[in-house]
Amino acid sequence: EIYVSDSLPAFRKNLLKEKAEVYRYRFTNNYRNIGLHRDLVARLAEAFEFGEKDVYYIKLLVDEILMNAFLHGALEPGKDCTELDILLAHGKLLITVKDFAGREFDDYPFHFRQEKKHEKGGLSLIEELSDDWQVTNKPGKTTEVSFFKTASGN
């Protein structure tokens, strides 16, 4: 495990207690599917009481983690699959993206960007715009990135 959140497991558990809506999609890695699923999550967030600014941030976050799965987790783009899990309750959202390449995860670039405070992409963007996040890597098997966000009332 690379970065493990203290609060994300409890957030997931509470969402499930609240009888959150659960959606799971498995799709082939390609640019079209990234856009389709990013927009799907945005529409779901709107339906679950997220405001315009939150929906914009959610689209950025989902686009980033789906693109990471496509660029770093697909051994054969166009053939490999990505899984997208969405848990939603009113004003609460948990997203998990899993790729099945399980490439060794190098967290050095993330920590380097944090120290230098430049380049707001990748995990730095996820850290900045989400309430919390985590990365779990099982080399040779899977990489999973999760984040959660609560509505800010905008």
Q: Mind listing the pLDDT tens digit for each residue in 80-112?
A: 889 999 999 989 999 999 998 777 766 555 554
The confidence score (pLDDT) of residue 102 equals 72
**What average pLDDT does the structure give for the chain?**
84
**8 Å CB contact between 134 and 98:** no
User: Residue 121: pLDDT band by 50, 70, 90 thresholds?
Assistant: low
The confidence score (pLDDT) of residue 1 equals 47
Tokens, residue 38: 């990013």
- Interatomic CA distance for residues 106 and 129, integer angstroms: 21
- Interatomic CA distance for residues 149 and 128, integer angstroms: 11
For the whole model, what pTM was predicted?
A: 0.85
